[in-house]
Structure 1
């Protein structure tokens, strides 16, 4: 069975073969062990199912982003995945602390006196602790491996942008800002879903107005992100203007940071405060960066980049994987001697 174009080299296949399965299995074991002994519907234990849901979402999202980056030959997105993986490492480390806060309420007790709430030898906490530690260790090791393969892929994909926009330095810079914008929108999606998932699973009661408002915000944000992506790709000025204004308005959503720590509400966030704070700050910074890059992309509208955006690299390979101009670049592979036409290049007025 032939591999798809995005997985046509050893470096690409190795990049896709990350630690996802191992991490999800470790988290699932923790979930299974805890659910056998405690009622996960109790608010103090809800961090455990949230932990499982977040890591499944994160690993699936990372696999999708990796395949998408390889398919598009997008080195910027690969670098973004490295940063995302580092954030995943931080999240895995935080979950060790969060799970201990949820499980241990009698630190000196062992299994003979308090199996569920104790922190000593033989307790539930000691039973799940090794599996919690495996996750950040595996993520950290795989991050180092991924850095090596991104370096390999950087050389492999280095010729891609030239075949989209040509050799013009100004066009290359504009196209790179466009790629950064699209990449940021994808990560905005994950950050928003991560914050919302934690609020809905762990914190908010279903019969409150805040729960309803959080649910209502989901389709609005999805429309915003999709609209921004279409606007920046097709250079629709009126739609881009609306999206930029909505991004600024959405920054006000992060008033919730105050609620995590103010005396009136801090208790309900106790078991997930560290993770929620980290997610919320990252989401805030991502959205602000998206707004800033969006302004830069907006300034590049009508400067000749539209055709390159609309005819980006697709599943069909448009260029040779051989180094251009090298002796090994065969004519049928698209070497300079082949006479094969290059994609349309951008002209800057």
Structure 2
């Protein structure tokens, strides 16, 4: 008997290969833009948009690949769907970066030749590479949709091995998976907002810079503790985590006001669009995390703890039957694990009785439901 290894199927390998290849192409295009700009300008002032652009895309690509391996390891369809949505958001972000880079490189009336947007300007030199990025991400998004569909059918029956066929348990476990997935994406969105603020906008001597730096470990600890609390059903820690989420929501609202109020709007002139999108997405994700967290809190102490702690260690196994051929379930576990049977009977143990001989049939016990009639050959459910 051997465990099925990670990336052992065509769909898994193709899904990861799609992400890796598009990540390499995107990072290459961004690196070319970075190199062209570095030849002519110093990354100070408005030009700091370019290295931040590279840093965010590098972070996004690494995060997405790690999330993909994690989803495949756990056979988690919900997380794969989350990656698909995240990839769509990257298309929007890459399109916004075309506008943001143009705002950084073109200064109306500037004396520097490269800042005026002429036919041979730096802007027109890097524009083709910037346009390639959203096109590549969009093409890989379509390919990902096909392979995620394949993985959905490949992993769809795994939930039966975690919580059985009980519909209530299945729903509770799905909310738990959504909660863990949301916490992971919360981490990326918060990191993306703070990277842009620290690199592009805030001065190290400002009070807001210190506030942003102090918020980083607080939010990261909040997300880690919330994940630990929801997995182990620690009520007091979950209560604190949910309360801190509301405080973090107020922080995002404060930042949105700062982006547009007259006293500070000029500080965010070259990054306002990207920061606004990131902050709104982070706000909505955290609000969704809070709402799903309340639902998960309500499911504490309802018998799901064992599945949370041990259920996701599941791995499909391939065994060899007596005829030497490979069988997905082995000789007899087909009866105890097949989804159709589980959906009807629940996670019970099946044993097949041998056919009785004619002499044995006469001594079989009577059934009161049949009015004393004899029971025939049967499959018993123990």
Same fold per superposition (TM over 0.5): yes
Please name the residue that 2:89 is paired with: 87
RMSD: 2.3
SS at match of 1:311: helix
Please name the residue that 1:308 is paired with: 307
Aligned partners of 1:319 and 1:4: how far apart in 2? 6
Aligned partners of 2:315 and 2:49: how far apart in 1? 47
Contact 2:159 / 2:170 at 8 angstroms: preserved in 1? yes
What's the offset of the Cα at 1:105? 1.3
Question: For structure 1, which runs of at least 5 residues remain unmatched after alignment?
Answer: 323-328
Contact 1:5 / 1:71 at 8 angstroms: preserved in 2? no
Please name the residue that 1:57 is paired with: 59
2:24 is aligned with 1:21: yes
TM-score normalised by the chain length of structure 2: 0.82
Query: What does 1:279-298 correspond to in 2, within 5 Å?
Result: 279-298=278-297
Please name the residue that 2:43 is paired with: 40
Please name the residue that 1:7 is paired with: 7
Could you give the per-residue CA deviations for residues 59-100 of structure 1, whole angstroms, max 9, x where no partner exists? 000000001000000000000001000100000000000000
Contact 1:91 / 1:275 at 8 angstroms: preserved in 2? yes
- Of residues 168, 181, 192 in structure 2, which corresponds to 1:170? 168
Quickly say closer, same or farther: Cα 1:166–1:295, change in 2 above 3 A.
same
Please name the residue that 1:326 is paired with: none
Contact 1:189 / 1:222 at 8 angstroms: preserved in 2? yes
Aligned residues: 330
Could you give the per-residue CA deviations for residues 268-289 of structure 1, whole angstroms, max 9, x where no partner exists? 1011100000000000000000
Aligned partners of 1:82 and 1:339: how far apart in 2? 33
Quickly say closer, same or farther: Cα 1:96–1:339, change in 2 above 3 A.
closer
Aligned partners of 1:52 and 1:321: how far apart in 2? 44
Aligned partners of 2:144 and 2:331: how far apart in 1? 32
SS at match of 1:48: helix
Contact 1:240 / 1:298 at 8 angstroms: preserved in 2? yes
Query: What does 1:271-282 correspond to in 2, within 5 Å?
Result: 271-282=270-281
Please name the residue that 2:181 is paired with: 183
Aligned partners of 1:121 and 1:318: how far apart in 2? 58
2:98 is aligned with 1:99: no
What's the offset of the Cα at 1:172? 0.4
Aligned partners of 2:347 and 2:40: how far apart in 1? 63
Contact 2:4 / 2:317 at 8 angstroms: preserved in 1? no
Aligned partners of 1:102 and 1:321: how far apart in 2? 57
Contact 1:119 / 1:126 at 8 angstroms: preserved in 2? yes
Aligned partners of 2:178 and 2:121: how far apart in 1? 47
Question: For structure 2, which runs of at least 5 residues remain unmatched after alignment?
Answer: 320-324, 338-345, 349-382
Please name the residue that 2:201 is paired with: 203
Contact 2:336 / 2:347 at 8 angstroms: preserved in 1? no
- Of residues 153, 156, 163 in structure 1, which corresponds to 2:154? 156
Aligned partners of 2:228 and 2:335: how far apart in 1? 31
TM-score normalised by the chain length of structure 1: 0.90
Aligned partners of 1:26 and 1:311: how far apart in 2? 43
Contact 1:31 / 1:49 at 8 angstroms: preserved in 2? yes
Please name the residue that 2:217 is paired with: 219
Contact 1:305 / 1:346 at 8 angstroms: preserved in 2? no
Please name the residue that 1:194 is paired with: 192
Quickly say closer, same or farther: Cα 1:4–1:24, change in 2 above 3 A.
farther
Query: What does 1:321-336 correspond to in 2, within 5 Å?
Result: 330-331=326-327, 333-335=328-330
